Structure 1
């Protein structure tokens, strides 16, 4: 079960690297605008805010990678960062779009459950 849990943690980390790339580098490009349903004007006006969000997503990915790198001793680190991702997913679902709960929150919750098994 430990291997499956770590694979889910790695998936969540990779998702957050992808979010970093979307928000920091592709926000005002076709893929970023399509993903976030932005007009060119809205993308231009919010680009700096999106880059800030992307940086935070990178920190989440780095924390999860750190927990994986620590092996068995990384359990508290993985749980902490998955908890942060879960809170961010719930907050995003409440304040922005319900999809965020499924894209961000659900994988984090699954990782938490699998780590506890």
Structure 2
């Protein structure tokens, strides 16, 4: 239930924020790679790109749920995971099914991490 409310909040932010006017989280006029051009050409991939960026930015501002984990350690791990995602995504080239899977996998991890960390930040128990 709490995760559903958080997802609704994030969806609302996407609809009212400046990212809603964008096709992707970056300027498609400057898309330099086949991957970036494929994302810009696909409304589904563009939405997922904006969602990944939104979750990632949100997590950089939430504090870690893991007891004893230092903020810097959490941020470093988050940044490393994002770099790994980008490398995996970029390896897809213009293959849209590969890109869809890459984004779906990353979104699943980010949603789970947001749910755990939001529960700690807002002092609410997490559901398994």
Which category of TM-score, normalised to the shorter sequence, fits these structures?
Answer: 0.3 to 0.5
Q: Which of the pair is proportionally richer in helix?
A: 1
TM-score after normalising by structure 2? 0.39
TM-score after normalising by structure 1? 0.42
